[in-house]
Amino acid sequence: MRRIDLAALRRGEPSLTADHRLQIKCHRRDGEVDVTTVYLEATRTYFGGRRLWFRCPRCEGRCRVLYGTRLIACRRCHRLRYCSQRETKEDRAMRAMLKIVRRLNPDDPDPCNDLPEKPLGMHWSTYDRLVDRFEGYNEQWGLAIRRRFSGRRV
């Protein structure tokens, strides 16, 4: 699926304004070309200036990224989800534990080991708070794994 990002377009064509419209061409296998017109809209920002948005050709909603192959539309119209929305409870707990380990030791080649020692310059109160969070996520992860393999609620 093709991803059309407004920020990437702006880097390539910084003079884009709300008066522009984009013609997106999709070539089909039978040789025909589908052309979709995408309009731009500008909104004001709080401290002056303007923010550009795509208008989704399908729902007319504002978005920064459009997706599609033959049908160009926003993420909501294609019913696309973020990776984190498909995570299980044990995946979420594991990701949170890895995030804490990476914060304590960003150069660790194998972050799946035990919790690293307190880094130099970190306050003990911060380290203790991270250790408590890590232990809580570790307990959540263990419960989720036991539920999965036992086939019943724990």
Which among 45, 78, 111 is the end of a domain?
Answer: 78
Mean pLDDT for 54-72 is 90
Q: Is the domain of 57 the same as that of 113?
A: no
Q: Is the domain of 6 the same as that of 71?
A: yes
Q: Is the domain of 67 the same as that of 89?
A: no
What confidence tens digit (pLDDT) does each residue in 88-134 have? 888 999 999 999 999 998 887 777 767 889 999 999 999 999 999 99
Does some domain include residue 27?
yes
Does some domain include residue 70?
yes
Q: Does an H or E element contain 138, and which?
A: helix 124-150
Q: Is the domain of 73 the same as that of 126?
A: no
Q: Is the domain of 88 the same as that of 42?
A: no
Higher local confidence (pLDDT), 59 or 35: 59
Higher local confidence (pLDDT), 62 or 10: 62
Q: Is the domain of 62 the same as that of 95?
A: no
Does some domain include residue 15?
yes
Higher local confidence (pLDDT), 78 or 24: 78
Percentage of the chain lying above the pLDDT 70 cut: 97
The mean predicted confidence, pLDDT, of the chain is 87
Give bridge partners of residue 36 from the DSSP assignment: 24
- Cα–Cα dist 27/34, whole Å: 6
pLDDT reported for residue 126: 96
What pTM does this model have? Answer: 0.61
Confidence of residue 1 (pLDDT cuts 50, 70, 90): confident
Q: Is the domain of 71 the same as that of 54?
A: yes
Q: Is the domain of 18 the same as that of 60?
A: yes
pLDDT reported for residue 35: 86
Q: Is the domain of 13 the same as that of 65?
A: yes
Does some domain include residue 152?
no
Domain range for 52 is 2-78
pLDDT reported for residue 153: 59
In total, how many domains does the chain have?
A: 2
